[in-house]
Amino acid sequence: MVDQLRTWFQQNHTLVVFLGAQLVTLGAAAAWMIAYSVKLETRVMILETRGAEYSVARLNSIDQKLTAMEGNLKEHEQRINRMLVELLKDKRP
């Protein structure tokens, strides 16, 4: 019996290694899914704890930052346009 098992293992060594690697991969995937679900649940709990006021305040601060960036973008665009006008003036005959 042991000899048969040993012979089968020697003949199918690649299959055994492949199946072992699959088990390790499945274990890693399961661990990743559990970690991700815990992380997601933690985020939900934090949002529920802090409430909507925190979320609204955070979104308002992001909106203010975006508005400031848009203003800077418009200023930079105007500066670039002025520079282009000056450069193109020099090249006209």
pTM: 0.46
> Which residue type is seen at 68?
A
Q: What is the pLDDT of residues 2-53, one digit of tens each?
A: 899 899 889 999 999 999 999 999 999 999 999 999 999 998 888 778 777 7
Cα dihedral sign for 35, 41, 45, 51? positive
**Using CA atoms, how far apart are residues 71 and 63, in angstroms rounded to an integer?**
12
Quote the pLDDT of residue 46: 82
Number of domains in the chain: 1
Domain span at residue 13? Answer: 2-91
Q: Which is nearest to 44 in space by CA: 55, 59, 34? A: 55
- Using the 8-state DSSP alphabet, how is residue 7 labeled? H
Handedness of CA 70, 75, 76, 81 (dihedral sign): positive
What is the model's pLDDT at position 9? 87
Q: What are the backbone angles phi and psi of residue 92, rounded to the nearest 5°? A: -80, 140
Cα-flanking dihedrals φ and ψ of residue 12, to 5°?
-115, 30
